[in-house]
Amino acid sequence: MNSYIDKFTNSTKNTIYSKLPKKSQEFIKKKSFELKFTFSEIKQIVDIARDLDMWNEKTIIDIFSEHKQKKVVIARLKKSYNDLKTKPNSYENFELKNIAKEQKYNFKTQAKDGFGLGLCPVASEKTRCCNLLTLDAVESCGFDCSYCSIQSFYNQNTITFDSNFTDKLKNLNLDKNKTYHIGTGQASDSLMWGNREGVLDALFLFAKENPNVILEFKTKSDNISYFMKNDIPKNILCTWSLNTPTIIKNEEHLAASLDKRISAARDVADRGAKVGFHFHPIVEYENYLNEYENVYDRLLNEFNANEVVLISFGTLTFIKPVIKQLRDREFRSKITQMPFEDANGKSSYPNSTKVKMFKHAYENFKPWAKDVFFYLCMEEHEMWAKTFGYQYTTNNDFENAMLSAYTKKLNMKFLV
Ligand code: SF4
């Protein structure tokens, strides 16, 4: 008896057992003593209990079936859990919990080592990738999107600016005979901080002095005041990450609403700058295809193809640290309530689901198919042929096709 108490205490120590609702804790303890679960069984049961709570679904007590054989109990539990993962999610009765109502964080400005310009952090040869260069103008983001992997890289509550950023940018020595595509929206949101610490002054000057660089600002904000007051160099591209109102409300916390994002893009386009849109992640839930179609149609109605340089599609892809971090947070999200399949060492939807959502998206944009550059972000090579009917042989081919299309739309020279 005493030895199992020790075993149970040790088994729960490195799990999120203590973060479970009291009733679930007591229930798991009672069942563990009855059926003498092993450490790994206890870990699984605790993770299942945490997921059910996070998804705002039934509790571990509701789905636990009584049987005197441990093997049967575990098998039935896993089946009920997987059934909840494979059924289409519904946000109808979903209640959020512990979601920050306002942005709270500390700002830090310090001299940083290095410069934070490098290949896109999630690029890989296993996926068809555009070789985007990312520039970390600011570290950490003030929005709180539940699916975001940035949260596992940085301290969420501290936003860091590099006191030497402007000088480093000025001294950046790029090949003048080559076209570059540099994005600032990976380590943080490109526009939510405005021109704090002179970041936008430095980036606009950089664009003016490097006409061979396509500088992409990617955002979920509507903070465009700097773009409304300053001349926008033609090699600057503003892109918005869009999603359905359902996903924005339930999974993209503190970010601007869909209306605000689209009207900000409209205002920037009216200033003569080119825009673009990222649908990443497209999330599967009840009636999702219709809700995404409404967003696609809004763009077709509110913009013309000449104003739009790109549209990208992508979906949920999780690395283990992010799943662990989500379980550690005592909040609600349905973002991991999905049938996971391996996607090059990460977890994502089954390919059949991806083909369905990407084809649906691309077919909705048929009127723009010839005039706007469409691409898949972070997807396997074959997914391209299944979605677009063609695929690139190498990442360089993809990059060249993208840069050729972008420079044409931005009225720039394409330098290879
Ligand atoms: S396709 Fe996406 S993941 Fe790959 S390099 Fe480009 S932006 Fe990064």
Q: The domain spanning residue 164 has which CATH number? A: 3.80.30.30
The last residue of one of the domains, among 30, 55, 86, is 86
In short, whether 399's Cβ falls inside 6 Å of ligand 1 is no
Which numbered atom of ligand 1 lies nearest the CA of 375? 1
- pLDDT digit string, tens, across residues 377-387: 999 999 999 99
Do residues 273 and 170 both lie within one domain?
yes
Residue 105 to residue 139: CA distance in whole angstroms: 12
Q: For residue 416, tell me if it sits in a domain.
A: no
Q: Which of these ranges, 155-159, 271-275, 345-349, 409-413, has the smallest mean pLDDT? A: 155-159
Q: Which of 52-66, 100-114, 156-170 has the lowest mean pLDDT?
A: 100-114
d(CA 82, CA 393): 37
378, 319 Cβ separation under 8 angstroms: no
Secondary structure class of 235 (helix, strand, coil): coil
Distance 43 CA to ligand 1 centre (A): 34
Asked if 296 and 364 count as a contact pair (C-beta separation under 8 A), the reply is: yes
Classified as helix, coil or strand, 7 is helix
* Residue 354 clears pLDDT 90, i.e. is over it: yes
Tell me if 63 is assigned to some domain: yes
CA dihedral for 61, 62, 64, 68, sign (positive or negative):
positive
What mean pLDDT do residues 66-95 have?
Answer: 94
Band of pLDDT at residue 158, cut at 50, 70 and 90: confident
The verdict on 278 and 337 lying in the same domain is: yes
Q: Which of 240, 234, 276, 278 is nearest to 410 (CA)?
A: 234
Q: What is the pLDDT of residue 416?
A: 85
Query: Does 120 sit in the ligand 1 pocket, CB within 6 Å?
Result: yes
Q: Quick check: 81 pLDDT over 60?
A: yes
* Exposure on the CB side of residue 362, measured as CA atoms within 13 A: 23
Tell me, yes or no, whether 97 lies in a domain: no
Question: Separation of 351 CA from ligand 1 center, angstroms?
Answer: 18
Read off the pLDDT of each residue in 163-179 and give the average, rounded to a whole number: 94
* Final residue belonging to a domain, choices 54, 86, 118: 86
Domain identity same for 283 and 392:
yes
> Ligand 1 centroid vs 37 CA: distance in angstroms?
43
The candidate with the shortest Cα–Cα distance to 210, out of 189, 245, 236, is 236
Distance CA 154, CA 151 (A): 6
Name the residue with the closest Cα to ligand 1, atom 4: 129
Contact 314, 292 (CB under 8 A): no
Q: Are residues 79 and 155 in the same domain?
A: no
Structure-token pair, residue 230: 């300053």
Residue 392, pLDDT above cutoff 70:
yes
Residues 149 and 229 both lie in one domain: yes
| Residue 136: inside a domain | yes
Q: Give me the mean pLDDT over the 95-103 stretch.
A: 82
Do 162 and 82 have their domain in common?
Answer: no
Confidence class of residue 125 from pLDDT cuts 50, 70 and 90?
A: confident
Single out the residue of 162, 158, 203, 172 nearest to residue 185, CA to CA.
Answer: 203
The phi, psi pair for 7, rounded to 5°, reads -60, -45
Ligand 1 pocket check for 265: Cβ under 6 Å: no
Q: Is residue 284 part of a domain?
A: yes
265 and 240 in contact (C-beta within 8 Å)? yes
Average pLDDT for 98-120: 85
Please give the angle made by the CA atoms of 45, 47 and 323, to the nearest 5 degrees. 160
* Short-list 294, 412, 303, 414, CA closest to 368: 303
Whether residue 339 contacts residue 85, with contact meaning beta carbons closer than 8 Å, is answered with: yes
Number of Cβ atoms within 10 Å of the Cβ of 136? 21
**Token pair recorded at residue 351:** 């390919």
| Shared domain check, 257 and 172 | yes
Q: For the chain, what is the domain count?
A: 2
Q: Report the chain's terminal Cα–Cα distance, integer Å.
A: 73
Q: How far, in Å, from the CA of 115 to the mean position of ligand 1?
A: 20
161 and 18, same structural domain?
no
Confidence at residue 293, expressed as pLDDT on a 0 to 100 scale: 98
Counting from 1 in the atom list of ligand 1, the atom nearest the Cα of 121 is 8
Region 320-324 average pLDDT: 88
Domain with 25 in it: 2-86
Note the pLDDT tens digit of each residue in 182-205. Answer: 999 888 899 999 999 999 999 999
Q: Is the CB of 122 under 6 A from ligand 1?
A: yes
Decide if 92 is inside a domain: no
Show which of 55, 86, 117 is a domain's final residue: 86
User: Cβ(5)–Cβ(39) under 8 Å?
Assistant: no
Ligand 1 close to Cβ of residue 123 (< 6 A): yes
Buried/exposed 80-98: b ≥16 CB within 10 Å, e otherwise = bbeebbeeebebeebeeee
Q: Is the pLDDT of residue 1 over 60?
A: no
Check: CB of residue 380 under 8 Å from CB of residue 127.
Answer: yes
Residues 82 and 120 both lie in one domain: no
- For ligand 1, mutation pick of 182, 319, 378, 400 (most atoms within 8 Å of CB): 378
Q: Is residue 91 part of a domain?
A: no
Is any ligand 1 atom within 6 A of the Cβ of residue 310? no
Pocket lining: 207 vs ligand 1, CB cutoff 6 Å: no
Pairing mode, if any, of strands 213-219 and 236-241? parallel
Q: Tally Cβ neighbours within 10 Å of residue 305.
A: 15
Same domain, 258 and 388: yes
- Mean pLDDT in residue range 299-317: 97
| pLDDT at residue number 16 | 93
Q: Are 264 and 146 part of one and the same domain?
A: yes
Cβ(375)–Cβ(121) below 8 Å: no
Residue type, 53: D
pLDDT > 70? residue 156: no
* Residue 111 DSSP symbol: P
Provide the percentage of residues in the chain whose pLDDT is more than 70.
98
Helix (H, G, I), strand (E, B) or coil at 400: helix
- Expressed in angstroms and rounded, the spacing between residue 211 Cα and the centre of ligand 1 is 23
Q: What is the per-residue pLDDT for 101? A: 78
Residue 98 has a pLDDT of 83
378 C-beta closer than 6 A to ligand 1:
yes
Across 21-31, average pLDDT:
96
Ligand 1 atom nearest residue 119's Cα: 5
Which tokens sit at 226? 């700097």
Are 49 and 41 within 8 A, CB to CB? Answer: no
Q: Residue 153 — very low, low, confident or very high, per pLDDT cuts 50/70/90?
A: low
What confidence category does residue 116 fall into, taking pLDDT thresholds of 50, 70 and 90? confident
214 DSSP β-pair partners: 181
Residues 161, 198, single domain; the answer is: yes
pLDDT at 155: 58
Q: In this structure, which residue's CA is closest to atom 6 in ligand 1?
A: 130
Indicate whether residue 138 lines ligand 1 (CB < 6 A). Answer: no
Ligand 1 binding pocket mutation candidate from 124, 127, 128, 132 (most atoms within 8 A of CB): 132
pLDDT at 219 over 90: yes
Asked if 134 contacts 183 with a C-beta cutoff of 8 angstroms, the reply is yes
Give pTM, 2 decimals. 0.94
Please report the sign of the dihedral spanned by the C-alpha atoms of residue 151, residue 88, residue 261, residue 367.
Answer: positive
Write out the two tokens for 27: 């229930």
Cβ distance 85 to 63 under 8 Å?
no
The answer to whether residue 355 is domain-embedded is: yes
